[in-house]
A and B are shown apart, each in its own frame.
Chain A
Amino acid sequence: MSTSTAPSREGKGPETRAAVTRASVGTAIAAGIAKWGFIAVTVGLIAFFVITEPNFRTTANALGMLKYIAPTAIAGLGVALAMTVGGIDLSVGASAGFAVSIAAYTMVVANQVGGVAISVVLLGGLLIGAINAVLVVIARIPDLLATLTTMFVVVGLKLIIVDGQSISSQMTLQDGSTAPGKFTADFLWLDRGKIGIIPVPVIIFLLLTALLWFVLQHTRWGRALYAVGANAEAARLAGIRVSLYRAAAYMGCGLLASIAGLLLAARIGQGDVSAGNSLLLDAVAVALVGVSVLGAGRPNAWGTALGAVLIAVMVTGFTMVGLPYYAQDFGKGVVLLVALLFSFTFSKRRTVVVAGSMT
């Protein structure tokens, strides 16, 4: 065995050394795959599209991709936040959709300016998060079931408020009159504005990622959140108010989901009643990818952002090479599967924190 890394000892048969070497090389490879595999997949995919598609390798396209994926990424950050305390939030898509309709309702029907709409939407997001917190933390309903229920309630509530319709300016209201308001320019700036060459959604996405990363990684509150997810009883005995942190995580998630909804509303420019429907699965997927990236083994902000970037790269790249839209879900599924393999199968780490581990 020329590549033997085991310290050779006297009196060992060659087969012993061989076994030792095989084990250590195998472990090292597995650890390497777990840590770098996902990055390699992303880089490889980007390289492939850069080489084959001239349109792909422009700054405009790169920014466009980030802008496209920003709402998904931000909702994914919310899911990651809920996952830090060992929970999950399945209501993020519904919350974002709720935000779209509420923003439209506030501006178009209630004839308010964008600032008011934003405030109402953010409050709504916090409220949905608070409901989830009450259901999970106080009523002790398992997180999957509680947030699934919230999802239905929120979607239903949205439909009741808007009478099941998409809200657009100049639409005819129930009483026959025309809607007085419209999407105001300051609100639309959320999507169309730029600072330098960078679109506002990209800036919001990156700022929120950096903020969440900093809080989780470098502040005592972030440490406490992770502690609750890693071992709630140990955290409690260490003096951490477990219930408060779990509640805070759900409320933060609701807030992030509503920010995702604001960006969607500004992009669509009307209160599309179906907006946000497809957001949930992507958001959960990117948060899960985040757990696996760099062998982190726990939900984290930059990993989630990277997962979102990968989805953007795939969707854009596949579209450019002419893969039909209906094949893209398949692509996402395969990538998620690969990510999960990295997290669970190749990783030696025994403690991957994921949804449902609290129950």
Chain B
Amino acid sequence: MTIGLDSISPEKPHLEGGDQTVVSLEGVSVSYGTNRVLESVTASIAGGRITALLGTNGAGKSTLIKALSGANPNYSGTIVLDGAPVRLTSPQVASRLGVATVHQKVADGIVPGMSVADNLILTDFASGGRRGLVTERTTLERAREVLKTLDLPWSDRILRTDAGRLGISDAQLLVLARVLRTTPKLLILDEPTSALTAAEVERLFVVLRRLRAQGLAILYVSHRFGEIESLADRVLVLRDGVLAVDVPRPFDWHTILEEMLGRPTELQQGVVDIRRGERTLLAVRGLPVLANAAPLDLDIRAGEVLGVLGLLGAGKTELAETLAGARPMLGGSLELDGTPYAPARPGDAIEAGVVLVPEDRQAQGILPGWSIAHNTTLPFLRAFSSALGVLSRFREAGRGDSVIASLHVVARDAATPIDDLSGGNQQKVVVGRWLADSPSVALLDEPFRGVDIGARREIGATLRRLAADGRAGVVLSSDVDEILEVADRIVVLVDGRIVLDAYADETDRATVVRSLLAIASSDSASADSASADSGLTPTGAGPDGSIPASGPGPVPDPESDPARNENSR
């Protein structure tokens, strides 16, 4: 874990605006069945402050949020809001009392098929509305009122478009504007940046800082330490349902991490034992990863972990899915271990030993309601069945057990339904599914998203063992630090082109970030100089080694990508 404090200017403690306690929790506990998941939490959240809530998966963050937002009325203890004890029995009650929540899955707050304006005033429809008659004029008027809460300069044209076509960051702002209209006292944000690009994160932070200046109490839940360092005034850490840390700025991250993980930990500064793969295992030649991108060349080598860094829309998911046969090739050719390789469907790739841990665990990874064992064996059913197709439960359970053991999955046994696991442990199971069969090339697309640091280390270590074993590991991520933490070699992808390809000891964080941002801001000259500075030649650029000029272009919304919809049907 590289926190990269050097690259983030820590901001001064925020002093103006009252320091009044808006919400205080007094001995709040929650149990599910006989399992106590929140243990007598006592804390206070102040107005005009951003309070960050940290914790590994299963530490009780979601449980605390559910209690505060009224989603789980079965808590004990007292919640005091503005000096008066309240009972948050439902989301509606919580909202009326001034608790607004923006959930991680923004899409759940948007009604596709309705216009942006309709979505902005959605609560009016729900509450019966002041007027029965809804005309477009009144709708737009009221929508504009709502936009004022965030000073969003959205035109009428945007207001009239289908909200389902908004990018995820705009959709998030829409939901935020809508909840702010109820003038809440406490705003809860659950992993608000997990699907945003760096620029979108910055835009959100500007909004949050302004809301803080207006005196709003903000509870900010995130896994990203860099964000918290740059944004928060106070940090709360939950561990095993207990409030382990409650500190104001300046943050001592070593202590916070130790408390969060419950064991002493070293802050890793990237990979120490950098390996250089000798042999090209999977050769990508002239493959355009995006419809309008230049062809790309890439050597995936045995014996190393390759980190592909790319923001949303850079083509990293497209690259991974193409190599894994889950997406038709747009051109070019592939060679696996010296022989031509053209997977027409995922089954071909799996048979050839090329596996993909997909980006979206819920939608593409897990089989809900299934046991851990059955979740791990799905791609390899033939190997677990007799010639007549009869499955061996015993051997399946064995595979489940070995995945649990090798990735330290926290679960009772392999028969446990995967739904009962925390997000991080579910991800470990999905990763274990694909790595357990000793693939020759393992592609992991955003394997650390929404995963706690413990699970993340476990997955990283497993991947490094795979590489040490002479196979190729590929991690694709939009998070610089995740890549630096696990990769021997780093490839930066921008708009479907490789702008940096270097081993970890030949480059540094600043160079990597620069290569990512310089191109993204359409300044191809500075990008050239950035890579020239570090003495690297970008591969996969134009034939003459130049980098084609790129526009800042809109960030494609993954939901509206037709190719993806095609495939997920």
Chain A interface residues (CB < 8 Å from chain B): 5-7, 9, 11-13, 15-16, 19-20, 23-24, 27-28, 140, 218-221, 223-224, 227, 230-241, 297-298, 349-351, 353
Contact A20 B366 (CB under 8 A): no
A239 to B391 CA separation, bound complex (whole angstroms): 17
Contact A240 B76 (CB under 8 A): no
B248 at the interface (CB under 8 A from A): no
Contact B385 A220 (CB under 8 A): yes
Contact A224 B326 (CB under 8 A): no
20 A–B pairs (Cβ distance < 8 Å), ordered by A: A19-B31, A20-B36, A23-B33, A23-B74, A27-B33, A219-B385, A223-B391, A224-B381, A232-B568, A233-B364, A234-B363, A234-B367, A234-B378, A236-B326, A236-B345, A236-B346, A236-B567, A239-B347, A239-B379, A351-B369
Partner of B419, one of A7, A233, A350, A353: A350
Interface residues of B in 349-394 (CB under 8 A from A): 349-351, 356, 358, 363-370, 374, 378-379, 381-382, 384-385, 388-391
A6 to B385 CA separation, bound complex (whole angstroms): 42
Contact B378 A351 (CB under 8 A): no
> A219 contacts which chain B residues (CB < 8 A)?
385, 388-391
Contact B34 A24 (CB under 8 A): yes
Contact B369 A237 (CB under 8 A): no
Nearest-neighbour CB distance to chain B for A348, whole angstroms, equals 10
Contact B369 A297 (CB under 8 A): yes
A297 to B370 CA separation, bound complex (whole angstroms): 10
User: In this complex, what residue of B is CB-closest to A140?
Assistant: B569
> B197 contacts which chain A residues (CB < 8 A)?
none
> A238 contacts which chain B residues (CB < 8 A)?
346, 350, 378-379
Partner of B384, one of A7, A220, A230: A220
Partner of A220, one of B33, B345, B358, B389: B389
B29 at the interface (CB under 8 A from A): yes
A97 to B381 CA separation, bound complex (whole angstroms): 38
Contact A351 B419 (CB under 8 A): yes
A232 to B326 CA separation, bound complex (whole angstroms): 13
Contact (A240, B347) CB under 8 Å given A23-B74, A223-B381: yes
A5 to B568 CA separation, bound complex (whole angstroms): 44
Partner of B378, one of A20, A218, A221, A235: A235
**Known contacts A227-B378, A239-B347, A239-B379; 15 further A-B pairs (Cβ under 8 A):** A20-B36, A23-B31, A218-B391, A219-B391, A220-B385, A224-B381, A230-B368, A233-B568, A234-B367, A236-B326, A236-B346, A237-B326, A237-B356, A239-B349, A241-B345
Partner of B382, one of A140, A220, A230, A297: A220
A220 to B385 CA separation, bound complex (whole angstroms): 7
Interface residues of B in 51-94 (CB under 8 A from A): 74, 76-77
> B419 contacts which chain A residues (CB < 8 A)?
350-351
> B40 contacts which chain A residues (CB < 8 A)?
11-12
Q: In which size bucket is the chain B interface?
A: 35 or more
A191 to B388 CA separation, bound complex (whole angstroms): 32
A343 to B329 CA separation, bound complex (whole angstroms): 43
Nearest-neighbour CB distance to chain A for B309, whole angstroms, equals 23
B324 at the interface (CB under 8 A from A): yes
> B374 contacts which chain A residues (CB < 8 A)?
223
Partner of B367, one of A20, A220, A227: A227
> A223 contacts which chain B residues (CB < 8 A)?
374, 378, 381, 391
A233 to B324 CA separation, bound complex (whole angstroms): 14
A27 to B34 CA separation, bound complex (whole angstroms): 10
Interface of B, helix, strand, loop or mixed by DSSP: mixed
Contact (A239, B346) CB under 8 Å given A20-B34, A230-B367: yes
A235 to B363 CA separation, bound complex (whole angstroms): 10
> B364 contacts which chain A residues (CB < 8 A)?
231, 233-234, 237
Nearest-neighbour CB distance to chain B for A14, whole angstroms, equals 11
> B378 contacts which chain A residues (CB < 8 A)?
223, 227, 234-235, 238, 240
> A7 contacts which chain B residues (CB < 8 A)?
34, 36
Contact (A12, B29) CB under 8 Å given A19-B74, A236-B326: yes
A223 to B358 CA separation, bound complex (whole angstroms): 21
User: In this complex, what residue of A is CB-closest to B321?
Assistant: A237
Contact A237 B324 (CB under 8 A): yes
User: In this complex, what residue of B is CB-closest to A15?
Assistant: B76
> A235 contacts which chain B residues (CB < 8 A)?
367, 378
> B345 contacts which chain A residues (CB < 8 A)?
236, 239, 241
A162 to B385 CA separation, bound complex (whole angstroms): 47
The 8 A-B pairs with the shortest beta carbon distances in the complex, nearest first, are A239-B347, A220-B381, A351-B369, A238-B379, A351-B368, A219-B389, A16-B76, A239-B350
> B385 contacts which chain A residues (CB < 8 A)?
219-220
> B358 contacts which chain A residues (CB < 8 A)?
233-234, 237
Nearest-neighbour CB distance to chain B for A267, whole angstroms, equals 34
A19 to B368 CA separation, bound complex (whole angstroms): 29
User: In this complex, what residue of B is CB-closest to A359?
Assistant: B569
> B363 contacts which chain A residues (CB < 8 A)?
231, 233-234
Contact B370 A230 (CB under 8 A): yes
> A15 contacts which chain B residues (CB < 8 A)?
76
Contact B76 A349 (CB under 8 A): no
Nearest-neighbour CB distance to chain B for A280, whole angstroms, equals 27
> A28 contacts which chain B residues (CB < 8 A)?
33
Nearest-neighbour CB distance to chain B for A295, whole angstroms, equals 11
A105 to B4 CA separation, bound complex (whole angstroms): 81
User: In this complex, what residue of A is CB-closest to B358?
Assistant: A237
A235 to B382 CA separation, bound complex (whole angstroms): 14
User: In this complex, what residue of B is CB-closest to A235?
Assistant: B378
> A349 contacts which chain B residues (CB < 8 A)?
369
Nearest-neighbour CB distance to chain B for A355, whole angstroms, equals 17
Contact (A221, B29) CB under 8 Å given A231-B367, A239-B350, A351-B368: no
Contact (A350, B391) CB under 8 Å given A5-B34, A6-B34, A11-B40: no
Contact A221 B356 (CB under 8 A): no
Contact (A233, B567) CB under 8 Å given A12-B29, A351-B369: yes
User: In this complex, what residue of B is CB-closest to A20?
Assistant: B31
Contact (A234, B31) CB under 8 Å given A23-B74, A219-B390, A239-B379: no
- Per-residue A-contact encoding for B11-48, CB less than 8 Å = 1, 0 else: 00000000000000000010111101000100000000
Partner of B368, one of A220, A233, A350: A350
Interface residues of B in 309-367 (CB under 8 A from A): 324, 326, 345-347, 349-351, 356, 358, 363-367
> A298 contacts which chain B residues (CB < 8 A)?
369
Nearest-neighbour CB distance to chain B for A345, whole angstroms, equals 17
A350 to B384 CA separation, bound complex (whole angstroms): 28
Nearest-neighbour CB distance to chain B for A4, whole angstroms, equals 10
Contact A230 B369 (CB under 8 A): yes
Contact (A234, B381) CB under 8 Å given A16-B76, A223-B374, A223-B391: no
> A232 contacts which chain B residues (CB < 8 A)?
568-569
User: In this complex, what residue of A is CB-closest to B568?
Assistant: A233
Nearest-neighbour CB distance to chain A for B321, whole angstroms, equals 9
